[in-house]
């Protein structure tokens, strides 16, 4: 019985062509009762139908070779990005087959009926591609691939199961990190994603070198010039090994979703890309998270393993559905961050009332460090302010949206008035604005 199950049920499938042909034979038999001449034709058609089904069954079943293949997934996956999945198959039958392939992606993606079809000659290979867009950090489990093969009249299909089970973790956006690294370092050292004007010479002395056309004449070293009897200039480099800490708010305010990602996920993706730029610039990078209590803490370092440590810490961060405790954050920064540092605080301050609660602690942090508060502009509310109201409800909605937008701008203005660096940005532009702010502060010698 197990053998019959494996042969006739588990490994074979009857496609719609089988039932169409069977229906045609049945119609001939019905008409045969009306006209006797058709009865003989129906019998012949039934015999031919059964012979073809048996022939295809024998050809497909008793051919030792079948379909081989596998799946290639970008490992690890990048949260919030389009990740490419490739499936390759090769026809090992010694005849041409029509294949219908079904993949089994992770349940988190909710992708139904991933179906691909192709006709392959003997020994021919083919590759299918599709994109997945993970929105949650964690493990994504891919199941086996199923391929249905048929030949000749395609009345019978053989099911081939390709072993392709794999568990792939989804980490903060590595794709985004590499993209911004290219944008920053593909240009000269004096430019970032946008051009930053350097103010004065606040860089570290590196060496004295021969003057070449284009060097700043203000850097001429007259003593070295007189000794060598040729024009010499001082060469400077960016100040290195400055401490930069990213602090991420994990409270309920960061749970708000935008385009399938929460604000916390946007902050985590931005932190990874931003930390990579800082390390490449020669600075020490650290990390701290908080909500109603302090979370992960990572001391500032610029070693080659620091980025991997940051990635692993960010991978495990989750929202805590409680209010953020800024007094606890102040004590945590005072105890764990030694020396004056740049602190990039990712949070979400939505109103004047929320700012009044946290402003005293932010001012105290800013006295010992360079604090940059990065918070979010609600793009959906911004779209509401631009709509044309058609009724009283629309007028109320637009008025409330305009008030909310003005509250955000007042919060940013109040922070700047108190000497706190501020970035008010949309979730989509969070990474680019954070990196630009860091490059601006470096260029101005603030840190």
Span 115-152, pLDDT tens digits: 999 999 989 999 999 999 999 999 999 999 999 988 87
Residue 191 in domain: no
Residue 278 in domain: yes
The predicted structure's pLDDT at residue 273: 92
Residues 147 and 269 in one domain: no
The predicted structure's pLDDT at residue 272: 93
Instruction: Give the whole-angstrom CA distance, residue 249 versus residue 345.
Output: 8
pLDDT reading at 18 higher than 80: no
Question: If you average pLDDT over residues 350-361, what whole number do you get?
Answer: 89
pLDDT reading at 191 higher than 60: no
Residues 250 and 389 in one domain: yes
Residue 180 backbone dihedrals phi, psi, to 5 degrees: -75, -30
Residues 419 and 282 in one domain: yes
pLDDT reading at 237 higher than 60: no
Write down which residue in 237, 258, 287 finishes a domain: 237
What SS3 state is found at 208? strand
Question: If you average pLDDT over residues 88-100, what whole number do you get?
Answer: 91
Highest mean pLDDT among 173-177, 186-190, 379-383, 417-421: 417-421
Alpha helices (H) in 62-88, listed in sequence order? none
Confidence class of residue 314 from pLDDT cuts 50, 70 and 90? very high
Instruction: Give the whole-angstrom CA distance, residue 175 versus residue 132.
Output: 13
Residues 214 and 312 in one domain: no
User: What is the domain range of residue 217?
Assistant: 204-237
pLDDT reading at 169 higher than 90: yes
pLDDT reading at 286 higher than 80: yes
Residues 157 and 294 in one domain: no
The predicted structure's pLDDT at residue 3: 43
Residues 257 and 368 in one domain: yes
User: What global pTM score does this model have?
Assistant: 0.77
Instruction: Give the whole-angstrom CA distance, residue 362 versus residue 340.
Output: 15
The count of structural domains within the chain is 4
The predicted structure's pLDDT at residue 125: 94
CB of 396 closer than 8 Å to CB of 141: no
Confidence class of residue 416 from pLDDT cuts 50, 70 and 90? very high
Residues 222 and 258 in one domain: no
Residue bearing the bigger pLDDT, 171 or 196: 171
Confidence class of residue 194 from pLDDT cuts 50, 70 and 90? low
CB atoms within 10 A of CB 74: 15
Write down which residue in 61, 90, 107 finishes a domain: 61
Percent pLDDT > 90 in the chain is 40
Residue 189 in domain: no
Residue 34 in domain: yes
Residue bearing the bigger pLDDT, 78 or 203: 78
The predicted structure's pLDDT at residue 238: 55
Average pLDDT, the chain: 83
Residue bearing the bigger pLDDT, 187 or 273: 273
CA 169 to chain centre: 12
Residue 177 in domain: no
Residues 215 and 364 in one domain: no
Residue 185 in domain: no
Per residue in 386-408, pLDDT tens?
A: 778 888 887 778 777 777 778 88
Q: What is the CATH number of the domain that holds 124?
A: 2.60.40.10
Question: If you average pLDDT over residues 195-205, what whole number do you get?
Answer: 49
Residues 52 and 28 in one domain: yes
HSE at residue 47, side-chain half, CA atoms within 13 A, is 6
What SS3 state is found at 151? coil
Question: If you average pLDDT over residues 211-240, what whole number do you get?
Answer: 75
Mean pLDDT lowest among 25-29, 52-56, 64-68, 413-417:
25-29
Residue bearing the bigger pLDDT, 144 or 26: 144
pLDDT reading at 439 higher than 60: yes
Residues 289 and 435 in one domain: yes
Write down which residue in 61, 88, 106 finishes a domain: 61
HSE at residue 408, side-chain half, CA atoms within 13 A, is 20
Residues 30 and 73 in one domain: no
Residues 40 and 110 in one domain: no
């Amino acid at each position: 019985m197990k053998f019959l199950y494996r042969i006739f049920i588990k490994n074979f499938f009857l496609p719609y062509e089988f039932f169409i042909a069977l229906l045609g034979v049945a119609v001939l038999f019905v008409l045969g009762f009306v006209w006797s001449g058709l009865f003989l034709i129906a019998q012949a058609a039934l015999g031919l139908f059964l012979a073809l089904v048996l022939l295809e069954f024998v050809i497909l079943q008793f051919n030792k070779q079948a379909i081989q293949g596998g799946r290639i997934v970008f490992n690890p996956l990048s949260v919030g990005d389009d990740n490419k999945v490739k499936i390759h198959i090769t026809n090992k039958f010694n005849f041409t087959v029509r294949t219908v392939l079904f993949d089994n992606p992770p349940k988190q993606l909710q992708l139904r009926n991933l179906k691909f079809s192709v006709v392959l000659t003997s020994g021919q290979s083919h590759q299918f591609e599709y994109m997945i867009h993970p929105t949650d950090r964690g493990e994504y489990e891919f199941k086996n691939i199923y391929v249905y093969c048929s030949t000749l009249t395609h009345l019978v299909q053989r099911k081939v199961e390709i072993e392709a089970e794999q568990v792939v973790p989804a980490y903060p956006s590595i794709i985004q990190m590499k993209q911004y690294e290219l944008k920053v370092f593909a240009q000269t050292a004096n430019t970032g994603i946008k051009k930053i004007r350097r103010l004065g010479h606040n860089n570290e002395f590196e060496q004295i070198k021969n003057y070449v056309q284009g060097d700043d004449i203000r850097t001429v070293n007259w003593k070295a010039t007189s000794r060598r009897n040729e024009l010499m200039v001082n060469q400077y480099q960016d100040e290195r090994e400055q401490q930069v800490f990213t602090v991420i708010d994990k409270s309920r305010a960061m749970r708000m979703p935008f385009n399938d990602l929460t604000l916390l996920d946007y902050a985590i993706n931005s932190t990874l890309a931003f930390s990579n730029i800082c390390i490449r610039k020669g600075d020490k990078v650290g990390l701290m998270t908080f909500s109603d209590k302090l979370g992960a803490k990572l001391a500032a370092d610029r070693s080659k393993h620091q980025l991997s440590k940051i990635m692993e810490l960010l991978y495990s961060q989750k929202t805590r559905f409680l209010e953020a405790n800024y007094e606890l954050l102040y004590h945590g920064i005072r105890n764990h961050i030694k020396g004056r540092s740049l602190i990039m605080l990712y949070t979400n301050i939505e109103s004047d009332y929320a700012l009044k609660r946290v402003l005293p602690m932010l001012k105290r942090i800013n006295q010992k460090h360079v604090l940059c508060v990065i918070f979010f502009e609600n793009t959906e509310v911004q779209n509401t302010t631009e709509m044309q109201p058609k009724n009283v409800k629309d007028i109320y909605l637009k008025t409330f949206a305009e008030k909310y937008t003005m509250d955000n701008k007042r919060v940013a203005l109040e922070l700047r008035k108190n000497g706190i660096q501020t970035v008010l940005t949309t979730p989509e532009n969070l990474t680019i604005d954070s990196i630009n702010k860091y490059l601006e502060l470096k260029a101005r010698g603030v840190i």
